Amino acid sequence: MRVVIADDETDVVAFLKSIVEEMGHIAVSYADGNILAQALMRETFDLVILDWNIPGKDGIALLKWMQSALPDHPPVIMMTNRSAKKDISDALNAGADDYITKPEDRSVVAARINAMLRRNAGAGAFDTEAVYGKYHLNRLDQNVTVNGRSITMTAKEFELADLFFRNADRTLSRNYIMETIWRTNAILATRTLDMHISRVRAKLDLQPENGFRIFTVFGYGYRLETIATSN
């Protein structure tokens, strides 16, 4: 999972990053509201932890912008020193999914983040087996079967397929995919990703006839779309 932390206080950022990475997720941080907004347009995140008072564009304004400009935006946890009931309700009304007042215990923050990520991961995201249309995924064996026929895949191909199925109909940025699957910030040769996706597409025969299509969003990333078929 990929978490973006928007705060200009380096101590807070370090604190949150350590929590996220301890849980085995990826943490990215921004100290400016405008830059964050641009990143949100270009890339995919699973959770935004947003400071109320961030330079550039403050938390509430960002929330409102995300509501209107990014209908598919990730969940947001607002973090602030404010604890007034009015502030909390304002934030939640503006579109925040949770609210944490600083300072808060490490374990509490970790629990809140974990809960939010799980809630958003989709049904069956963490089960050992999942069924998406014709496709049966066994996460323990890293194995996919279609109509009872087992399909041989490499670990990375399986992870990629799994990522797409779990995030069906959600557009994933190339960076998101690469960091999630390859766990690296290093820029992979862009062709590596293209070729993996091509292989997954070919092996699983992901095409409208089989209820799915992989759709390239040029300049951004990919989306696995489910096709409503008549039969």
Partner 1 sequence: MRLRLAVEWVLIGMFATSILVAALHWKGTASFDHLLYDQLTAAQRPAADGDILIVAIDDPSLLALGKWPWDRKLHARLIRKIQGKQPRAIFFDILLSERSEPQADQSLAAAMASGPAPLFIPLHFSTPGNNGHDYDTIFPVPAFVQAASGLGHVNIAFDDDGIVRRTSLCFAPDPDGKSWPHLMTLTAKADRADITGPRCAVPRLIPYSHRGSFAEISYADLLAGEVPDALIRNKFIIIGATAAGMGDNFPTPNGEGGMLSGVEIMANVLAATRRGDFIRPLSDIPTYALSLLPMWVLMIIFLRFRPQLVLTISLATLIGILAVSILLLTNRIWFPPGTALLGVLMVYPLWGWRRLQAISTFMDTELRSFDQSDDMRVWPISYSQATDIVGRQSEALAHAIDHMRDLRRFVSDTLADLPDPMFVTDPDDRVTLTNKLLDERLGVDIYGRLLTDALDLMVVAEQRPQVDRYLGQPPKKDQEFVRFVSPAQLTFVMRRSEVRSDSGDLRGHIHYLTDITALAKAEVDREEVLQLLSHDMRAPQSTIIALLDSPINADAKKRIEQNARRTMQLAQDFVEIARMGESDFGGEDVLLVDLVRESADSLWPLAHERGIRFSFHDTSDSAFVCAEPESLHRAMCNLIDNAIKFSPDNGVIRVEISHHAKAYVAVTISDQGSGIDADILPALFSRFATTRHQTGRFRGVGLGLAFVHAVITRHKGSVTAQNGENGGARFTVTLPEARDE
Binding positions for partner 1, 96-115, rule CB under 8 A: none
Q: Interface with partner 1 includes 209 (CB under 8 A)?
A: yes
- Output the smallest distance, CB 189 to partner 1, in A: 8
CB of 209 to partner 1, least distance (A): 7
Secondary structure string (H, E, C) spanning the chain:
CEEEEECCCHHHHHHHHHHHHHCCCEEEEECCHHHHHHHHHHCCCCEEEEECCCCCCCHHHHHHHHHHHCCCCCCEEEEECCCCHHHHHHHHHHCCCEEEECCCCHHHHHHHHHHHHHHHCCCCCCCCEEEECCEEEECCCCEEEECCEEECCCHHHHHHHHHHHHCCCCEEEHHHHHHHHHCCCCCCCHHHHHHHHHHHHHHHCCCHHHCEEEEEECCCEEEEEECCCCC
Interface pick for partner 1 out of 18, 154, 169, 215 (rule CB under 8 A): 215
Among 84, 127, 129, 208, binds partner 1 (CB under 8 A): 208
Q: State in angstroms the smallest separation of the CB of 161 from partner 1.
A: 15
Give least dist CB 130 to partner 1, A.
23
Q: Residues touching partner 1: how many (CB under 8 A)?
A: 19
Closest to partner 1 by CB, 140 vs 189, is 189
Spatial distance between the Cα atoms of 85 and 72, rounded to a whole number of angstroms: 28
Residues 188 to 207 in contact with partner 1, rule: CB under 8 A: 189-191, 194-195, 197-198, 201-202, 207
Q: Is 154 in the site for partner 1 (CB under 8 A)?
A: no
Q: Using CB under 8 A, pick the residue from 12, 213, 220, 226 that binds partner 1.
A: 213
Residue from the set 139, 214, 220, 226 that interacts with partner 1 by CB under 8 A = 214
C-alpha distance from residue 82 to each of 19, 53, 92, 230 (Å): 22, 10, 13, 52
Judged by CB under 8 A, the stretch of 39-47, 89-97, 118-126, 186-194 that binds partner 1 is 186-194
Residues that bind partner 1 (CB under 8 A): 189-191, 194-195, 197-198, 201-202, 207-209, 213-216, 218-219, 227
